[in-house]
Amino acid sequence: MYGNHRFTPDSREFDAGAKSKDFSTSNNPYQTPPSETNSTYPQTNSIKRKTNLALTISAFLSDISRPLSNGKINNSPQNILKFLNEVFKRSKCSKENAILATFYFQRIYRSRAQNESSLPEFSRCSKRIFLCCLILSHKFLNDNTYSMKNWQIISGLHAKDLSLMERWCLGKLNYELAIPCSDLLLWETNTLMKRASMAKRPGDADHDFDAHPRKLIKSC
């Protein structure tokens, strides 16, 4: 893949604040993680550089999944972008993690396109599927990866639900997570960047904006 496996920050840092945070879900299970105004996560340059990548990926994911939106599930680029910014910040994932997760996402959505009627509802939510793809790419690329308990803290979703969705995604990928570095770089250039540039970019108006950052955003 992208060279040697990398090491993530010590996952014990998540445990320190886990007991003081309430990640319970509201009536609508399709929601982004809660935003935090006084976040304890460091605002490093690498996080700031992910802004353009998050814009590109959010446009790409929305372009693929928007037809599956419904009354509870909102696959607009604005909604996805807020989710990506928060999850990228919390998980401290690398660019390689994000790109590989996006590649998995496209494969999953391509594989299930012909059987939409039998899809579980969670599979219509681009944020949940991308999160599972990010978990898989994190496991594949990193020697020291997060546990499901850590991903529960990062995402606000229960570990049991994450495990269920992860297994579903693995099945759609036929458990094939490896891809040559050259192939992924070619896909990034010719598919991700090209398609995202043609997709509608998030506009200035965002009707899902949460004026109270600590509230859960109640749409998928």
Q: What is the pLDDT of residue 72?
A: 87
Q: Give the residue among 14, 16, 220 at the shortest CA–CA distance from 121.
A: 220
Type of residue found at 169: C
Q: Is residue 9 part of a domain?
A: no
Q: Is residue 206 part of a domain?
A: no
Q: Note whether 26 and 172 are within 8 A (CB).
A: no
Of 20-24, 95-99, 133-137, the one with minimum mean pLDDT is 20-24
Q: What is the pLDDT of residue 90?
A: 94
Q: How many domains does the chain have?
A: 1
pLDDT over 70 at 93, yes or no: yes
Domain interval for residue 117: 42-198
Q: What is the pLDDT of residues 28-44, one digit of tens each?
A: 555 555 444 444 444 55
Q: Is residue 58 part of a domain?
A: yes
Between residues 84 and 52, which one has the greater pLDDT? 84
pLDDT over 70 at 209, yes or no: no
Q: Is residue 17 part of a domain?
A: no
Q: Is residue 120 part of a domain?
A: yes
Between residues 112 and 9, which one has the greater pLDDT? 112
For 174, residues 6+ apart whose C-beta sits below 8 A from its C-beta are none
User: Please, which pLDDT band fits residue 45 given cuts at 50, 70 and 90?
Assistant: low
Between residues 143 and 115, which one has the greater pLDDT? 143
CATH assignment at residue 159: 1.10.472.10
Between residues 204 and 39, which one has the greater pLDDT? 39
pLDDT over 60 at 58, yes or no: yes
When pLDDT is averaged across residues 101-129 and rounded to a whole number, the result is 84
For 176, residues 6+ apart whose C-beta sits below 8 A from its C-beta are none
Type of residue found at 202: P
When pLDDT is averaged across residues 73-79 and rounded to a whole number, the result is 92
Q: Note whether 76 and 62 are within 8 A (CB).
A: yes
Q: Is residue 53 part of a domain?
A: yes
Q: What is the pLDDT of residue 193?
A: 83
pLDDT over 60 at 80, yes or no: yes
Query: What percentage of the chain has pLDDT greater than the value 70?
Result: 64
Q: Is residue 67 part of a domain?
A: yes
d(C-alpha 155, C-alpha 134), whole Å: 11
Query: What percentage of the chain has pLDDT greater than the value 90?
Result: 52
d(C-alpha 128, C-alpha 96), whole Å: 19
Q: Is residue 209 part of a domain?
A: no
